[in-house]
Amino acid sequence: MNILILSQMEDVFLHLIKNNKSINKVYLANYSLADKIYYNYLFKKHNVKFENVKYNSYLKNELKLIYNKVEKLYKSSIDYQRLDDKENIEYIVLKYCNLYLNINYFFESNQIDTTVTWNGYFAPDIIVNYLAKEHNIKTIFYEMGLFRPNTMTIDAKIVNYGNSVPQSVSFYKNNEFSDKNNLVSKSNIKSSNKNIYKLYKIFDHLLYHLNCCTYKRFDNIKNISLKKKKELSTVVKLSDIDTKYINIFVPLQVSTDTQILLNSPNIKSMDRLIEILNTAIIKLNKENIKYKIYIKKHPKDLKEIKTEFEDNIYLLDEKISSKEIIKKVDSVVTINSTVGLEAIELSKPCVVLGNAFYSIEPIAFKANTDNLALKINEALKNTDFKLQSKFIEYLKYEYQLPYNPFSILEFDTNIHQEKFKELLK
């Protein structure tokens, strides 16, 4: 068996590849000099034998023959969605046309059985995996898991919306899921690594800000300013949530995140989300005030929000953990954040406004921009908490794999190997 590895390789896959005797050849499809230097170093460090994909420069008239096809693929990527200037993209598309022809030639010249991709939403990955399907080559996607940082996702379809998680309610009604591999305990980060993890989160946050500068979004680097009608909104504490009301928690998301750009067709900004919430709170409190909405901004979203709050919508202190907020409120409304999964895990009604793999009624309820108030009440009345519990059990015990970002060797990698082999079949 021969596999093609796309960039963003993690230690866990190096262990899987190294210990899988059915793999004959490993190829690396590096897209830049930086990728090539780093991943060549990483593979040599782990003593994994590999070959780099060789790239040639095609003539412009050859590139133009596939321009329209590649442009369409590029426009479906997160790279295009993050561009400020979406008009002048010819140079970028031609660059990816060159990649397309090189990978196509590579697939025609080599017997490749599987591609392995981190995330899968970036332009090079979309192009390579499109060609993989054209050549009947299997695909495997992986990313940090749904219960971070202790899990990872490996999926043959994709890692978020559209993944292989069953969408039929009957699947969860008719099956039982148990922790037969003791995955929960294996997923826990050891106490010796907790401080390292804190440093990792700080470093991750700094990298994100640097990434914003790379995308030339200096204009977005401002403190978020959320206003309420008639006066500036004051930040409230967890203790300010009054339990005599029906309280709803809404986590804001990063406007430039994959989940918003690709999996939220009707809400592309947090301003638009607040407009929808303003309309919903007026409808909910039409007869008397009994609903309150609490919003918490995402620490990585740098865009200023200009939309004013209606009465009974409040801004929570961002230092409060989402889990603590969920425990205190009656329901959660999200576009498609993993906070929705936390709500399901904590047996709370959840309403989803975007595309999310977990919006399976009556586990979580799908709303549109016009019927949010109606769906909030429907979720409060009709959520099946037993099914919510079984859905989380399936994700934890069947779908997710244990993962420690600091030491893959701290737990049994045979579990990962079995999953990997299953996907390679």
37-86 tens-digit pLDDT: 877 787 887 788 889 899 999 999 999 999 999 999 999 999 999 898 88
pLDDT at residue 279 tops 70: yes
Q: Which of 9, 32, 27 is nearest to 99 (CA)?
A: 32
Average pLDDT over every residue of 141-152: 84
Helices 270-284 & 372-382, crossing angle to 10 degrees? Answer: 70
Question: pTM for the whole thing?
Answer: 0.86
Strands 350-352 and 25-29: unpaired
CB 29 within 8 A of CB 5: yes
Higher pLDDT, residue 219 or 237: 237
Average pLDDT over every residue of 158-175: 96
In 25-150, the DSSP E strands lie at 25-29, 51-52, 114-118, 138-144
pLDDT at residue 298 tops 70: yes
Higher pLDDT, residue 228 or 303: 303
pLDDT at 47: 82
306-328 tens-digit pLDDT: 888 999 999 998 889 999 999 99
**Chain-centre distance of CA 379, in angstroms?**
24
